[in-house]
Structure 1
């Protein structure tokens, strides 16, 4: 079973959040670029995948929100885990201004 969580902030920039999440989780992020998602940052260690994604994604005519349910959040943190646990969530929620927005298990 996989767990997916989405966090968001309107107070941090992408670079700030990459630095803060990297320190909290001890993970190294690499910058990626996607035609559909724009520039985002990825850290992956087999059981935990963390992405820092701007909520505004370049579109054909204008920027479109990656998560249109939370347009107030400028930056999103997306996590995918294969082993359930509360440690990841607690570490991310300890970042001031980062809010847990959604959880889904599949």
Structure 2
């Protein structure tokens, strides 16, 4: 079972959010480039991973598509995946001004 959380912001750029989360959690993010997701940043945490990426991603028709179309106002997304619920992580992320919890799924 994996616990997934989606956060979003229209206050911070991708770079700003990477810096804020790095400082707050003591993480090092690695830049990745994906045909499907575009450029995003990934950090491993002891019990999972955190990904930061723009919501608009390059589409096949040279138009941007939204990674999370259900949250069009969020220009930047932060995605977490942990094997179990991690309330401490949620609390620390929740303390970042301008970052809003958008969704929770368990798979």
Q: TM-score, normalised by structure 2?
A: 0.95
Give deviations 1:29-64, integer Å, cap 9, x for gaps: 000000000000000135120000100000122000
| Runs of 5+ consecutive residues of structure 1 not aligned to the other structure | none
In the TM superposition, what is the alpha-carbon distance from 1:85 to its structure 2 partner? 2.1
Displaced runs of 4 or more, over 2 A:
none
The CA RMSD measured in Å over matched residues stands at 0.9
Q: TM-score, normalised by structure 1?
A: 0.96
- Number of aligned residue pairs: give it: 106
CA distance in 2 between partners of 1:24 and 1:82 (Å): 21
